[in-house]
Structure 1
Amino acid sequence: MTARPADATGRPTLEQVAEAAGVSRATVSRVINAVPTVDPRIRAAVERAIAEIGYVPNLAARSLVTRRTDSMALIVSEPPGHATVYKTPFLQRLFTDPYIGRVTAGAQEVLRPRNIHLVIIPADPPAHHMVLRYLRQGHVDGVLLISSHGADPLPQQLVDLGIPAVLSARPGRPVPLSYVDVDQQGGARLAAEHLVGSGRRRLATICGPQDMPAGQDRLAGFRSAVAAQLGVDVPAEQGDFTRSGGEAATHRLLDRHPEIDGLFAANDLMAEGAIRALQERGRRVPEDVGVVGFDDSSAAVESHPQLTTIRQPVEEMAGEMAQLLLARLREPDRTARSVIFNPTLVVRQSA
């Protein structure tokens, strides 16, 4: 039998796949749409036919039937008024922060086997209205949102628009969205216990921005643990989660407290900057000052010396975000929930 011709664009058609596989057009459609009741042998025959003739589904037509785009957005949001807080521009911070790469990798581990595309969207204040318009137009099925600031309006805007979304951390304001986080205060306590346990007594911290729940929790957890063990207050300088911010904050801290012998930085990038500042001041790490970071990112092993740090399993957390979003798409009335991961101490050379 002569195969039917391709369509006007020259692309293989659904009918050609059906003819090559010896099944009906409806059966091919069920295979493409991952209907679970298709016989495995028939599914295999259709998949072979698709591969042999090079058929590519028309996603636009398919989305009209399924009302799905098979795409999700990973949005990295910065709320209005924060550009002046950071010396480094938003897009530069976005693409140099190891955390973003780890979130992307973890989400892809879950989404890629399901043939779901992940679209990374920066959302600094000038782009917020464009991002909302893109989402309203239905380009994605849901959103994985990295939003760390309590003042960020985007989480509530997603709720108001009815767009399925999952947050990468505890929100700064109550919002009916699922989120995934690490026990931030517990991680900071591990850092304090390690520094005290290694004989450090004059402790200080470079904390994160205090309008961010993670910055607040890591500072509170470290201070409470040190107070419980040593009965002293902990001096703190605020950084911005960048290397340069950590370096500048450490210089300010040493100007006020040159006697410190143990330092907790609220992320690895700031810890790396802190080590640089200490070395510039002639302080040896770890002989004179022990340094502990937070994240266990690539910055921890690229630092000299390598960082002792608190590991948050970012890839696993991002995978859980993706699973929660998929569950929300399957069950639109599903109640929002939180999933909290446990941090662990990773001992290297800096403390």
Structure 2
Amino acid sequence: MPQPRKRATVHDIAAAAGVSRGTVSRVLNGGYVSTEARAAIEAAITEVGYVPNTAARTLKMRRSQAVGFVALEPHSLFLDDPNIGAIMLGANAALSLADHQMVSLVVESARDTERVGRYLSGGFVDGAIVVSARTHDPIIKMISDLRLPAAFVGHPPDLDQNIPYVGIDNVGSARTVTERLLATGRRRVGMIAAALDRDSGIDRLTGFRAALGDRFDADLVADVPHYDYGSGVKGMRLLLERDPTIDGVFAASDAIAAGALEALREAGRSVPREVGIVGFDDSTWAVRTQPQLSTVHQPAKEIGSCAAQLILRQLSGEQITPEGQLLPTPIIWRDSA
């Protein structure tokens, strides 16, 4: 049985380069050496196949060089909601540029919360990006108690004011896209409202209600649990049962809007001739549907990147002001309304 190859050390580099171990250490730690010595050491590193011992470095620095991406959503939503994936990719790109690893942690149950809590408190990550935290979520208290460098995507009302966050103006965006829908002449406009246990869901319903004013009808709000396709189908069927004359719908996400389109096709309703529908996110769902969705553009990758930068700034010792960072959300108007 072949024996595993012995790991090359700093001594091996020094011997191959003909320099002292201290000179090699200065190069590996970013210190100054002569151009000739640096060239010799870099050639020796290639020759001996040296790979830095990150485990030893972690113990010395008391840093893991890892950041947790904590998503408080059902596992199935990762397949249905492109936004979470885009936020994750944006965060990972920013962390990778800073030579940090991202660790994905999905929280779907109380047991998951306990498991992730043990992981966060065990020193396995240097910070945490938290997506979709609910009001009174134990993860918020846990991170606050640990004083772990953190950044939230969105802003639950009970969020510790010392923890920074990045997000969008859900109220204003929902109001604007609903007003644009109303301007097309729709008279009976409903909403498929999702995730009313967190800030994004509540805020989008608030914006919808503000746009309608006196015309708001609580019976034309279908409350569904998640931002997913199946919730859109169920929510649209419920609205049609409550009022078959409904002629406009604001769906709280593009995935929900796609499901609503399916339910409208089942019912023989033409979009946009008989029913106008708008979504939220400008995700891949928006351009995969027929007709394509009018929607609110949510800069998901930029949100993820900004959240990661907030973590990195804290890890560098910078004092972050508690004010949140809100990114712009233009309306993208297509054929569904």
TM-score w.r.t. the length of structure 1 is 0.86
Counterpart selection for 2:298 from 312, 317, 320: 312
Equivalence for 2:101: 117
How many angstroms does 1:276 deviate by? Answer: 0.6
- Return the letter of the residue paired with 1:118: M
Q: Does 1:232 align with 2:215?
A: yes
Counterpart selection for 2:10 from 11, 14, 37: 14
| 1:138-177 equivalent positions in 2, closer than 5 A | 138-175=123-160, 176-177=162-163
Once the two structures are aligned, what percentage of the paired residues are identical?
39
Which digits, 9 at most, give the CA deviation of each residue in 1:161-211, with x for residues without a partner? 122111111123131311111110121022112212323232111111322
Structure 1: how far apart are the matches of 2:210 and 2:38? 59
Distance 1:324 1:18, change over 3 A: farther
- Return the letter of the residue paired with 2:145: D
How many angstroms does 1:28 deviate by? Answer: 4.1
- Return the letter of the residue paired with 2:334: R
SS at match of 1:91: coil
SS at match of 1:252: helix
Contact 1:168 1:321 in 2 (8 A): yes
Q: Does 1:101 align with 2:96?
A: no
Structure 2: how far apart are the matches of 1:293 and 1:40? 60
Equivalence for 1:300: 286
Equivalence for 2:242: 256
Structure 1: how far apart are the matches of 2:235 and 2:45? 58
| 1:28-177 equivalent positions in 2, closer than 5 A | 28-33=24-29, 35=30, 38=32, 49-77=44-72, 90-124=74-108, 125-175=110-160, 176-177=162-163
Distance 1:305 1:63, change over 3 A: same
Distance 1:288 1:133, change over 3 A: same
Structure 1: how far apart are the matches of 2:181 and 2:147? 46
How many angstroms does 1:315 deviate by? Answer: 0.3
How many angstroms does 1:62 deviate by? Answer: 0.4
SS at match of 1:99: helix
Contact 1:166 1:178 in 2 (8 A): yes
Which digits, 9 at most, give the CA deviation of each residue in 1:240-259, with x for residues without a partner? 21111111111111111221
Structure 2: how far apart are the matches of 1:40 and 1:313? 46
How many angstroms does 1:95 deviate by? Answer: 4.0
| 1:200-349 equivalent positions in 2, closer than 5 A | 200-227=186-213, 231-234=214-217, 235-239=220-224, 240-331=226-317, 333-349=319-335
Distance 1:43 1:160, change over 3 A: farther
TM-score w.r.t. the length of structure 2 is 0.89
Contact 2:23 2:33 in 1 (8 A): no
How many angstroms does 1:338 deviate by? Answer: 1.1
Q: How many residues align?
A: 328
Equivalence for 1:82: none
Equivalence for 1:85: none
Deviates more, 1:213-222 or 1:23-32: 23-32
How many angstroms does 1:219 deviate by? Answer: 0.8
Distance 1:9 1:332, change over 3 A: farther
How many angstroms does 1:334 deviate by? Answer: 3.8
Structure 1: how far apart are the matches of 2:117 and 2:23? 38
Distance 1:345 1:12, change over 3 A: same
How many angstroms does 1:308 deviate by? Answer: 1.3
How many angstroms does 1:18 deviate by? Answer: 4.2
Q: Does 1:183 align with 2:169?
A: yes
Structure 1: how far apart are the matches of 2:14 and 2:179? 65
Structure 2: how far apart are the matches of 1:293 and 1:18? 62
Q: CA RMSD in A?
A: 2.3
Contact 2:87 2:304 in 1 (8 A): yes
- Return the letter of the residue paired with 1:166: A
SS at match of 1:134: helix
Structure 2: how far apart are the matches of 1:115 and 1:295? 30
How many angstroms does 1:262 deviate by? Answer: 1.4
SS at match of 2:280: strand
Structure 1: how far apart are the matches of 2:250 and 2:332? 14
